[in-house]
Chains A and B, each alone.
Chain A
Amino acid sequence: MSDVLRPQAAVGTAAWKGLVIQPAVIVLILAAFVIWLKLGNLSATERATLNPGDLLAYTGQHLALTFVSSAIVLAGAIPLGVLLTRRPFVKVSGVILALANFGQAAPAIGLVVLLAFWLGFSFWSAVVALVVYAALPVLRNTMVGIQGVDERLVESARGMGMSSFSVLMRVELPLAVPVMLSGIRTALVLIVGSATLATFIGAGGLGLLITTGVNLFLPRVLVSGALLVALLALLIDWLGRVVEHYARPKGLR
């Protein structure tokens, strides 16, 4: 048995290394950034734009966009994905996936702008755009995850007298968790990145630093914005990986 267990242990430590290195790198870059802000020869305008209060406010807006959109995506796309794997809807699931894939090719910036033209330049337009953009990975991975569950296990569960609902909750969903979580992480990272574009429709966020930097030609402001967004994306990605690590059912590799 030991030869069976060893590879898992090896995978475990490799995964752990990754989980530790990523936040360490994030913290390191953040620290370097703060030092650079303190020591760097910032012009008066730059200093005014990059004051800690404003930076926090932008980050807060960015996070608000991210979390509201993510919550809506999760609440909508997961149940929809589950529903599309149930027998009456299996036939339409292929069509819906194809459509969604097709829609995924739409550039995020275009989506944001179109929705703003339609719904007004606001926080909620940005949220709607982000939700539309990020729903696909969650939807797709929920479906793929459930469809990937060995059919014999489902039959075995039915054969033991589990109801369809019980099979879904106790066999299909737990086994689909790893695939679903990876879709959710992809979606979150997409949302964080795309939330940068919210600045174009007046919904704030860290993208504001980038556009301000470009418009007023303040390279340091521009770089600060880009760096903070990237760090935020890495952080969310890391959180996703931690959750994946712990939520993966034991017994699955």
Chain B
Amino acid sequence: MSKNSSTATGTSVSSRILLDAVTKHYPGQSKPAVDGITLEIPAGKIVMLVGPSGCGKTTTLKMINRLIEPTEGRITLGDEDVTNIDGDQLRRRMGYVIQAGGLFPHMTVAANIAIVPKMLGWSKEKIKNRVDELLELVSLEPAMYRDRYPRELSGGQQQRVGVARALAADPPVLLMDEPFGAVDPITRQRLQDELLRIQEEVQKTIVFVTHDFDEAVKLGDWIVVFSEGAHIVQYDTPERILNEPASSFVEDFIGAGAGLKQLTLNRVRDVELAEAVTGSPGEMAQDVLARVKEAGDGHAVILDENRRPLSWPSRRQLSRLETIPATPDAAIPLVTQGSTLSDALDTMLVSSAGAALVTDRRRSFVGVITVEVVMEAITRSRKASAMANDNDSPVGTNTGTIEVQGGTT
């Protein structure tokens, strides 16, 4: 974190979290729900806790902000031992997001976001500015949404407000408990992209519980795979978990198509794009066709004055035209630099060209991505992850337990 400004817009220093031999034993149950877990959450990273239901991942998360009090062990936030400080005070320093946002239906969007800043005694002016800033951060127009009530928002919008509320007092840590579990797949994908974008900006330490392995691969810098009793089966990068699952338990959990899941790991911006012959509306079609033939390409990309793709005619289509029309073709395969390779592959498969046009954030054309490039990326990331060393791996073990080898109990 080179940024150390803690202004309203800036990011506060994110903190490493360390669970040290933490156990949760519920009275009347013979087995502990969480069994002597030692887990390091590196600062500024997204760590995903995944595992089957009832494996103790949510309990582990809730012990970080002490919604559930640990029976044994210590919890450190940054350099501070927070095991015994007042739980309410601790929670005001950690954002907390749950399914459907957990928004209070009797408060407006603004009032929901303002709760923690108010408890921290911020001035009205500062709170108001912060609310607007956060709404903008989560892509909701402040003037339009500030005074709405939660039920006047869609599920996705509610979830965004939930994230904004958790970020309100700029806490160094964000805890998310299956936040996107209740929305439809398309909205979920958008919210995930949004979270990644926000994280680029705010660089929080995020602990995220999910039962969806694809979500874990897409969002996580690190993934912790749990089995029952919060036993850590594997704590690794998504790449390595996909390539070298530690046990058959992890393999089963990944499910089929590990190779394809790799595509979720890489973004279009990470791979090399092919160049393409471009043209503009009004040009003679023959001239463009000549350039296409010279370059040995099959298609030309027609761009408007802002370099936004309009259409993508083939050689045959060009030969039938006289001048290039300005009409946009809604069916051209388009992806952005931020799309995952998996999304890009989906888009390509439905287009006849076996490739897709890539645009940047301002929707200007930057290049073409092809199926070959995608396949190459899979191979490359496999090799890379095999060679990566263990130096930077955070700690994650269970103490006082017999390691269960690959067994689902």
Chain A residues within 8 Å of B, Cβ to Cβ? 1, 4-5, 152-153, 155-163, 166, 171, 174-175, 249-253
Assuming the contacts A174-B106, A175-B105, A252-B106, asked whether A159 and B98 have C-beta atoms less than 8 A apart, the reply is yes
A251 with B150: CB separation less than 8 A: yes
| Residues of the B chain whose Cβ atoms lie less than 8 Å from the Cβ of A162 | 88, 115, 119
Segment from B1-9, B24-32, B89-97, B244-252 that makes contact with A: B89-97
Question: Could you give 14 example pairs across A and B, Cβ below 8 Å?
Answer: A1-B152, A152-B102, A155-B102, A156-B96, A156-B98, A157-B104, A158-B67, A158-B91, A160-B91, A160-B165, A161-B89, A161-B91, A162-B119, A251-B151
B107 with A251: CB separation less than 8 A: yes
| Residues of the A chain whose Cβ atoms lie less than 8 Å from the Cβ of B175 | 159
| Residues of the A chain whose Cβ atoms lie less than 8 Å from the Cβ of B149 | 250-251
Q: How many residue pairs, one in A and one in B, have C-beta atoms under 8 Å apart? A: 72
Chain B residues within 8 Å of A, Cβ to Cβ? 65, 67, 88-94, 96, 98-100, 102-108, 115-116, 119, 149-152, 165-166, 175
B98 with A160: CB separation less than 8 A: no
B106 with A250: CB separation less than 8 A: yes
Contact among B98, B115, B119, B166 with A155 in the assembled complex (CB-CB below 8 Å): B98
| Alpha-carbon distance A1/B88, docked complex (angstroms) | 36
| Residues of the B chain whose Cβ atoms lie less than 8 Å from the Cβ of A253 | 151
B115 with A160: CB separation less than 8 A: yes
| Alpha-carbon distance A158/B98, docked complex (angstroms) | 12
| Residues of the B chain whose Cβ atoms lie less than 8 Å from the Cβ of A175 | 104-106
| Alpha-carbon distance A160/B67, docked complex (angstroms) | 10
B90 with A161: CB separation less than 8 A: yes
| Residues of the B chain whose Cβ atoms lie less than 8 Å from the Cβ of A158 | 67, 91
B67 with A159: CB separation less than 8 A: yes
8 A-B pairs besides A161-B94, A175-B106 with CB distance below 8 A are: A1-B152, A152-B100, A152-B102, A153-B105, A156-B96, A159-B102, A175-B105, A250-B149
Which 10 A-B pairs rank lowest in CB-CB distance, beginning with the nearest? A156-B102, A159-B96, A161-B92, A251-B149, A161-B91, A249-B106, A161-B88, A251-B106, A174-B106, A163-B88
Interface centre among A166, A249, A251 (most CB of B within 10 A): A251
Contact among A5, A152, A166, A174 with B98 in the assembled complex (CB-CB below 8 Å): A152
B105 with A251: CB separation less than 8 A: yes
| Alpha-carbon distance A5/B91, docked complex (angstroms) | 35
| Alpha-carbon distance A251/B161, docked complex (angstroms) | 15
Shortest Cβ distance from residue B204 to the other chain A in the assembled complex, whole angstroms: 15
Which chain A residue has the least Cβ–Cβ distance from B106?
A249
| Residues of the B chain whose Cβ atoms lie less than 8 Å from the Cβ of A153 | 102, 104-105
| Alpha-carbon distance A167/B104, docked complex (angstroms) | 11
| Alpha-carbon distance A126/B116, docked complex (angstroms) | 49
Shortest Cβ distance from residue B167 to the other chain A in the assembled complex, whole angstroms: 12
| Alpha-carbon distance A1/B115, docked complex (angstroms) | 25
B96 with A251: CB separation less than 8 A: no
Interface centre among B88, B98, B152 (most CB of A within 10 A): B88
| Residues of the A chain whose Cβ atoms lie less than 8 Å from the Cβ of B108 | 251
| Residues of the B chain whose Cβ atoms lie less than 8 Å from the Cβ of A174 | 106
Which chain B residue has the least Cβ–Cβ distance from A5?
B152
Which chain B residue has the least Cβ–Cβ distance from A154?
B102
| Residues of the B chain whose Cβ atoms lie less than 8 Å from the Cβ of A163 | 88
B151 with A4: CB separation less than 8 A: yes
| Alpha-carbon distance A180/B70, docked complex (angstroms) | 36
| Alpha-carbon distance A204/B107, docked complex (angstroms) | 46
Shortest Cβ distance from residue B367 to the other chain A in the assembled complex, whole angstroms: 39
Shortest Cβ distance from residue A163 to the other chain B in the assembled complex, whole angstroms: 5
A159 with B105: CB separation less than 8 A: no
Shortest Cβ distance from residue A60 to the other chain B in the assembled complex, whole angstroms: 38
